């Protein structure tokens, strides 16, 4: 078995960024009434490796291919009394190692984690502006439109539903290299090291990143709405700014790169009941948003491996 699959500590290391992250996901799919009493400590650190906090999570009984740990205090209850947890992490399940043999990475492949998109969805941020709420006060500060269209990348990074945190966690556990938007922006040639590139919900990218991705011959566009809007990135201040796309600066502008393969209309299909890949010029594109099913769909993970 690929040794990358063996995980001892539940941490997430982002290549050259050097950050260990607490994985916190937004999902309505992780539902259960049964919790096992075997808590695990998850450590969160900043870029310098300084311990910031510890959170005790508890294992949840689910049909996942992985062990699922949840924050017992972070949930909602639906009309049928089922709990939906908004904070959870994944770990390998020893009894499923034969399954992992079928789905773990066997190629020279890398996943691009959408760190720019994670920042864009922070508040106040791009979506505060899109909702027309940027002239309101946040934490005692009045933000104007220009303020909301430039956002600092936070540390630790927000890893959640919109930034495809579950997908990243699954693929990392299965032995895929993880790089980030920043890695590609600073060194577009980094993609040439890999035979296969897997995109997540990389909605906001720089022109350097867009050109590097679209010129690679084998890209798996795993989440719809990738490569949707152009941003700039100021490395010194670690700030992204919206340049074009998502109805900005003109309402008629959809895709900021005028990309012919844009499939953003598929991003609202989170059930993936009619899931399939279609061939495009430089790879394959999925027709639904797989965040809620990645951790339990063996056939999808097998297909990703085979591309």
132 lies in the same domain as 264:
yes
87 lies in the same domain as 152:
no
| Residues of the chain above pLDDT 70, percent | 74
Q: How many CB atoms lie within 10 A of CB 147?
A: 17
What confidence tier does 132 reach under pLDDT thresholds 50, 70, 90? confident
- Asked if residue 223 belongs to a domain, the reply is yes
- How far apart, in Å, are the Cα atoms of 178 and each of 56, 125, 229, 303? 25, 25, 22, 19
> In this predicted structure, what is the pLDDT of residue 254?
95
- Asked if residue 101 belongs to a domain, the reply is no
> In this predicted structure, what is the pLDDT of residue 34?
40
Of 88-97, 130-139, 294-303, the range with the lowest mean pLDDT is: 130-139
SS3 letters for the chain?
Answer: CCHHHCCCCCCCECHHHCCECCCCCCCCCCECCCECCCCEEEEEECCCCCEEEEEEEEEECCCCCCEEEECCCCEEECCCCCEEECCEEEECCHHHHHHHHHHCCCCCEEEEECHHHHHHCCCCCHHHHHCCCCCCEECCEECCHHHHCEEECCCCCCCCCCCCHHHHHHHHHCCCEEEEHHHHHHCHHHHHHCCEEEECCCCEECHHHHHHHHCCCCEEECCCCCCCEEEEEECCCCEEEEEECCCCCCCCCCCCCCCCCCCHHHCCCCCCCCCCEEEECCEEEECCCHHHCCCCCHHHHHHHHHC
Residue pLDDT, tens place only, 62-81: 789 999 887 777 777 777 77
61 lies in the same domain as 160:
no
Query: Nearest 5 degrees, angle CA 18-CA 169-CA 171?
Result: 100
More confident residue, 42 or 58: 58
What confidence tier does 56 reach under pLDDT thresholds 50, 70, 90? low
- Asked if residue 2 belongs to a domain, the reply is no
264 lies in the same domain as 172:
yes
Number of domains making up the chain: 2
- Residue 27 sits in which domain range? 9-96
- Asked if residue 227 belongs to a domain, the reply is yes
Show which of 56, 75, 96 is a domain's final residue.
Answer: 96
> In this predicted structure, what is the pLDDT of residue 5?
33
> In this predicted structure, what is the pLDDT of residue 11?
32
> In this predicted structure, what is the pLDDT of residue 52?
33
153 lies in the same domain as 274:
yes
More confident residue, 132 or 85: 132
90 lies in the same domain as 114:
no
Residue pLDDT, tens place only, 26-53: 333 443 334 333 333 333 333 333 323 3
Mean of pLDDT over the chain: 79
State the average pLDDT over residues 138-160.
Answer: 68
């Amino acid at each position: 078995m690929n040794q990358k699959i063996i995980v001892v500590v539940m941490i997430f290391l982002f290549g050259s960024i050097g950050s260990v992250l607490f994985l916190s996901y937004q999902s309505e799919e992780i539902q259960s009434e049964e919790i096992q009493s075997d808590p695990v400590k998850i450590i969160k650190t900043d870029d310098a490796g300084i311990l910031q906090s510890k959170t005790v999570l508890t294992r949840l009984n689910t049909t996942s291919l992985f062990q699922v740990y949840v924050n017992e205090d972070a949930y909602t209850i639906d009309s049928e009394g089922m709990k939906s947890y908004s904070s959870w992490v994944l770990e390998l399940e020893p009894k499923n190692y034969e399954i992992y043999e079928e789905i773990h990475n066997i190629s020279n492949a890398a996943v691009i984690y959408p760190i720019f998109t994670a920042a864009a969805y922070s508040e106040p941020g791009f979506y505060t502006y899109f909702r027309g709420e940027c002239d309101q006060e946040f934490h005692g500060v009045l933000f104007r439109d220009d303020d909301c269209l430039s956002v600092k990348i936070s540390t630790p990074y927000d890893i959640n539903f919109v930034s495809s945190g579950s997908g990243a966690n699954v693929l990392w556990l299965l032995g895929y290299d993880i790089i980030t938007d920043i890695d590609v922006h600073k060194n577009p040639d980094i993609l040439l090291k890999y035979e296969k590139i897997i995109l997540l919900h990389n909605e906001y990218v720089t022109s350097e990143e867009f050109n590097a991705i679209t010129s690679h011959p084998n890209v798996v566009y795993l989440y719809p709405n990738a490569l949707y809007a152009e941003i700039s990135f100021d490395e010194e201040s670690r700030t992204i700014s919206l340049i074009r796309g998502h109805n900005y600066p003109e309402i008629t502008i959809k895709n900021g790169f005028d990309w012919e393969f844009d499939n953003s209309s598929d991003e609202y299909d989170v059930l993936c009941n009619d899931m399939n890949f279609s061939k495009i010029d430089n790879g394959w594109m999925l027709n639904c948003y797989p965040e809620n099913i990645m951790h339990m769909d063996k056939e999808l993970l097998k297909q990703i491996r085979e591309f």
